[in-house]
Chains A and B, each alone.
Chain A
């Protein structure tokens, strides 16, 4: 079974600075997908960024980018120019590419990000 680990329960960053959230995963599969979701205090889960394992190029979405290291099974999220609205719980998630997996997600424990003005 796949596992996802986020070793930083809490992180903080100053507004306009850059912060990196860590995520590692364990899998024996070669084809899979990785996601970062954001959960603000409203509780709504919002997709931040996604990465296909077969793509070597790191995904980028505006101020959000990932550092995907397939051999190390690492998938960190970098937030540049942090804004107060970035304050949230961030979850890393894994999805197998196998058709028998039902496209279900395995989540990490989450990292609570605080942005200080």
Chain B
């Protein structure tokens, strides 16, 4: 099993450009998440999808959109990148409820110049 995969691993964008971060999981999990990690701030939730066909805003959703394409895939889109979106982005998945852990992808380091 590959677990949670993310593409790309690194990306450099100019201000105003758009891009989509891809995430896929092969563990048949219902729930998927997008976080961003900034120095000194831990991981903050951008959007999540509790189940296929649903998405909800997290703590820092402004400037982002998401699509739960199917049960396996959950993408994050930046329509018009800004320097404030320079960060490391993590996708995660888990079973819903209970003490189940979240499994994380390897992360995408995004730099917006």
**A interface residues, Cβ below 8 angstroms from B:** 4, 6, 9, 33, 35, 42-45, 47, 50, 52, 91, 97, 99, 102-110
Contacts and interface: CB of A to CB of B under 8 A. Distances in A.
Q: Pick the 7 closest A-B CB pairs, nearest first.
A: A45-B104, A107-B42, A102-B50, A47-B101, A107-B43, A109-B42, A33-B99
Given A45-B90, A47-B101, A102 B42 contact: no
Nearest to A4: B42
Given A43-B107, A45-B104, A104 B58 contact: yes
B50 A103 contact: yes
Contacts of A45: 90, 92, 104
A99 B97 contact: yes
B49 to A, nearest CB: 8
5 contacts: A102-B48, A102-B50, A103-B97, A104-B45, A109-B42
User: What class of interface size applies to chain B in its complex with A?
Assistant: 20 to 34
Given A102-B31, A104-B48, 15 more contacts: A35-B101, A43-B106, A44-B104, A44-B107, A45-B92, A52-B99, A99-B97, A102-B56, A103-B50, A103-B102, A104-B45, A105-B45, A107-B35, A107-B44, A110-B40
B5 interface: no
Contacts of B48: 102, 104
Nearest to A109: B42
A103 B40 contact: no
A43 B97 CA distance: 26
Contacts of A9: 40
B101 A103 contact: no
B88 interface: yes
